[in-house]
């Protein structure tokens, strides 16, 4: 993560002021590319099983106790690699895209009265055919309800984001894995397959 932070000024600026940050890295046997970034993001954003939807129901009651509001339960995202928003200002589910380097990095944010949360996904090439995908969460508290809220949901945050990263990994391997295997065989043999 330190390399990723040092190389991406937009991420560095948000991280410098964060009250909470975490990174859930995963290594994939795929080359770093715009296709990998978009496909991984689609898999992460589309992860929305019934138990996560149920947590939004629990959240609805909890935020009311803090004097906050939740406007319904988010709809199921349906992104593909081709439809992942890469324009700053575009909506990605309940997030707004705030920074993009199409073959390397994507960051989106969601703000409420108590905190702002950033989801950042970045690629760190480890070799020509292996990439570490970093999924970072950065949180800025706005008032006393920010740390109260986030510390209460923190165990669920790690469970949900860890599951989202696993879904992104599975989706990327399912969508891009066969092509990567052919590319690796091509590099090894020196021939076009």
**DSSP 8-class letter at 127:** E
Number of structural domains (the chain) is: 1
148: CATH: 3.30.530
| 193 belongs to a structural domain | no
| 160 belongs to a structural domain | yes
pLDDT in tens, 46-83: 988 777 677 766 666 665 666 666 565 556 788 999 99
| 102 belongs to a structural domain | yes
Q: Domain limits at 130?
A: 2-187
Spatial neighbors of 119 by CB under 8 A, at least 6 apart, are 44, 95, 107, 108, 109, 135, 136, 137
Contact 32, 131 (CB under 8 A): yes
pLDDT in tens, 136-171: 999 999 988 888 878 887 888 898 899 999 999 999
**DSSP 8-class letter at 111:** E
| 192 belongs to a structural domain | no
For the entire predicted model, the pTM comes to 0.84
Beta-bridge mates of residue 121 = 106, 135
């Amino acid at each position: 993560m330190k390399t990723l932070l040092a190389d991406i000024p937009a991420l560095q600026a948000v991280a410098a002021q964060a009250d909470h940050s975490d990174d859930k890295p995963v290594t994939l046997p795929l080359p770093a590319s715009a296709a990998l970034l978009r496909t991984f993001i689609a898999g992460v954003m589309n992860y929305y099983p019934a138990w996560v939807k149920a947590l939004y129901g629990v959240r609805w009651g909890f935020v009311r106790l803090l004097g906050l509001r939740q406007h319904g339960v988010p709809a199921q995202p349906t992104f593909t690699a081709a439809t992942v928003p890469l324009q700053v200002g575009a909506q990605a589910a309940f997030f707004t895209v705030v920074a993009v380097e199409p073959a390397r990095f994507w960051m989106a944010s969601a703000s409420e009265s108590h905190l702002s949360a950033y989801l950042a996904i970045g690629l760190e090439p480890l070799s020509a055919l292996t990439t570490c995908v970093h999924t970072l969460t950065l949180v800025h508290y706005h008032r006393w309800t920010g740390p109260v809220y986030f510390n209460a949901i923190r165990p669920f945050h790690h469970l949900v984001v860890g599951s989202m990263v696993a879904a992104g990994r599975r989706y990327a391997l399912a969508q891009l894995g066969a092509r990567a295997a052919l590319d690796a065989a091509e590099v090894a043999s020196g021939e076009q397959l």
